[in-house]
Amino acid sequence: MSILVQFAIGLIFGLGLILAGMANPAKVLNFLDLAAIPAGRWDASLLFVMAGGIAVTMLGYRLAFARGRPLLAERFVLPSASRPDARLVTGAVLFGIGWGLAGFCPGPALVAALTGGLPALIFLAAMLAGMALARRLAAAGAIRPAEPRRTS
Amino acid sequence: MIETTFTPIASLAGGALIGLAAVMLMLFQGQIAGISGILSRLLPPQADGEAGGRLAFVAGLVLAPLIVYAAGSAWPVPQIAATVPVLVVAGLLIGFGSIWGNGCTSGHGICGLSRLSLRSLIAVATFMASAIATVFVTRHLL
DSSP chain B: -------HHHHHHHHHHHHHHHHHHHHHH-----HHHHHHTTSSSP-SS-HHHHHHHHHHHHHHHHHHHHTTPPP------S-HHHHHHHHHHHHHHHHHTT--TTIIIIIIHHTT-HHHHHHHHHHHHHHHHHHHIIIII-
The pLDDT of residue A14: 98
Minimum-distance CB partner of B110 among A23, A54, A108: A54
What are the helix (H) ranges across chain A? 2-20, 25-32, 45-66, 86-102, 106-111, 117-142
Q: What is the pLDDT of residues B76-115, one digit of tens each?
A: 999 999 999 999 999 999 999 999 999 999 999 999 999 9
Interface A–B counts its CB contacts (< 8 A) at 503
Q: Is pLDDT at B60 greater than 90 in this prediction?
A: yes
Summarize the confidence of residues A80-109 as an average pLDDT: 94
Minimum-distance CB partner of A88 among B60, B102, B109: B102
Minimum-distance CB partner of B61 among A4, A10, A55: A10
Q: Is pLDDT at A24 greater than 80 in this prediction?
A: yes
CA distance A145 to chain B (A): 19
The pLDDT of residue A146: 43
Which pLDDT band, with edges at 50, 70 and 90, does B47 fall under?
confident
The pLDDT of residue A143: 59
CA distance B76 to chain A (A): 7
Question: Smallest Cα–Cα separation from A44: which of B103, B137, B9, B139?
Answer: B9
ipTM above 0.95, yes or no: yes
Minimum-distance CB partner of A100 among B78, B92, B131: B131
Tell me, what DSSP letter sits at residue A135?
A: H
Percent of chain A with pLDDT over 70: 92
- Taken in order A23, B9, B37, B54, is the CA torsion positive or negative? negative
Check CB contact of A121 with chain B, cutoff 8 Å: no
Q: A118 vs A48, B90, B92, B113, CA distance in Å?
A: 30, 15, 16, 34
Percent of chain B with pLDDT over 70: 100
The pLDDT of residue A74: 94
Tell whether pTM > 0.90. Answer: yes
| Chain B residues near residue A48 by CB distance under 8 angstroms | 8, 11-12, 15
Check CB contact of B70 with chain A, cutoff 8 Å: no
Which pLDDT band, with edges at 50, 70 and 90, does B49 fall under?
confident
CA distance A7 to chain B (A): 4
The pLDDT of residue A150: 47
Round to whole Å and give the CA distance between B64 and A111. Answer: 7
- Give A 34-93 residues with CB within 8 A of chain B: 34-35, 41, 43-46, 48-58, 60-61, 63-65, 67, 69-79, 81-84, 87-93
Summarize the confidence of residues A123-143 as an average pLDDT: 91
Round to whole Å and give the CA distance between B31 and A6. Answer: 11
Nearest CA in chain B to A57: B19
Q: Is pLDDT at A142 greater than 90 in this prediction?
A: no
Tell me, what DSSP letter sits at residue A139?
A: H
Question: Smallest Cα–Cα separation from A98: which of B61, B88, B115?
Answer: B88
Q: Which residue has the higher pLDDT, A147 or A8?
A: A8
Summarize the confidence of residues A134-143 as an average pLDDT: 83
Round to whole Å and give the CA distance between B104 and B119. Answer: 12
Which pLDDT band, with edges at 50, 70 and 90, does A147 fall under?
very low
Q: What is the pLDDT of residues B110-141, one digit of tens each?
A: 999 999 999 999 999 999 999 999 999 999 99
Nearest CA in chain A to B141: A35
CA distance A35 to chain B (A): 7
| Chain B residues near residue A20 by CB distance under 8 angstroms | 10-11, 13-15, 17-18
Q: What is the pLDDT of residues A28-49, one digit of tens each?
A: 999 999 999 999 999 999 999 9
Summarize the confidence of residues A65-72 as an average pLDDT: 96
- A119: three-class secondary structure by DSSP: helix
